Amino acid sequence: MAEMAEMEHTTRCGYVALVGRPNVGKSTLLNHLLGQKISITSRKPQTTRHQVLGIKSEGDCQVVFVDTPGLHRDEPRAINRYMNRAAASAIRDVDLVVMVADRTAWTEEDEWVLQQVQRSELPAILVLNKVDLLAEKGQLLPHLQALQEKGDFQAIIPLSALRGQNLQALEDEIAGRLPEAPFFFPEEQITDRSQRFLAAEIVREKIMRQLGDELPYATTVEIEDFAVDGDMLHIHALILVERSGQKRIIIGDKGSRLKAIGSEARRDMERLFDSRVMLNLWVKVKSGWSDDDRALRSLGYDDR
């Protein structure tokens, strides 16, 4: 009887890396799988810069998703090299890889990512995201067949992360391939990242969404103060840019753009932290930070 009870309580737990070229929807997929936003998103490639763990515990299964920066062949600056290292290290340290691609668009970048996945020799599932946007649904089946011959995938799953379509099929495939193991994290924990980190990322997301193509990837956010006062969080965030012209763009006419960024970020923070938030933003020029390894380390780009 004791043996039967033990069998009934077997748990599965493992690490699953979400990889792909920039802008295929990895972070959106993670947020919808978790039912909560922990990874920032925008229409801009390379929005995600760090590895972020998203933890989903359901029944006897805990999946530890690793959201990674988009893998890309060109490494013109130190920050690009950092992002590639962060993504590549995730592939080495997981039980399963989920490679995300965009509908029927298969590019040289996708081919390069596939080579990295195959080199890892880990079991892999291919996700074709954004299929709700396909104009010609008939294109999908021949594309699926061609991809099955291209790589030795455990499964190929077309879905829409944004619309929540076919996510259960992916979760079932993942759960069936996780090793038997105790949970690595408490059941109520959803990420390994601190509130401080999440606050900085939310501000950075609002900058990217507000500015469109006006600003290159020359901004980062540093939380200088994060204090609890009763039911209020006091957060002081420093936005770093590389040139004075970029500072003017972020501040906007009479501070209008900075105010909009702060207002949107505060709303998201209050939802995420379930608390009232007093947010103060400053903008400062720190030239060359994105191509300076020492500056990157001091700003939290720590290769973890």
Establish if 183 belongs to a structural domain: no
Same domain, 148 and 252: no
Distance CA 18, CA 127 (A): 10
Establish if 190 belongs to a structural domain: no
Same domain, 43 and 85: yes
**If you count them, how many residues does the chain have?**
304
CATH number at residue 263: 3.30.300.20
46-57 pLDDT, tens digit per residue, is 554 556 789 999
Establish if 74 belongs to a structural domain: yes
Inter-helix orientation angle 167-175/26-34, to 10°: 80
Q: With contact defined as beta carbons under 8 Å apart, do 78 and 200 qualify?
A: no
92 by Cβ neighbours in 10 Å (0-12 / 13-18 / 19+) ranks as exposed
pLDDT of amino acid 160: 94
pTM (two decimals): 0.77
Same domain, 101 and 144: yes
pLDDT of amino acid 290: 60
- Listed residue (142, 118, 115, 119) closest to 128, CA to CA: 142
193 to 18, 57, 161, 208, 213: CA distances (angstroms): 17, 17, 22, 21, 29
Same domain, 21 and 86: yes
Residues of the chain with pLDDT under 70: 1-8, 40-51, 69-90, 212-217, 288-304
End-to-end CA distance of the chain: 44
Phi and psi torsions of 213, nearest 5°: -90, 5
- Listed residue (68, 27, 65) closest to 190, CA to CA: 65
pLDDT of amino acid 151: 78
pLDDT of amino acid 7: 47
Can you give the residue range of the structural domain that contains 268?
195-298
Phi and psi torsions of 77, nearest 5°: -130, 165
Establish if 30 belongs to a structural domain: yes
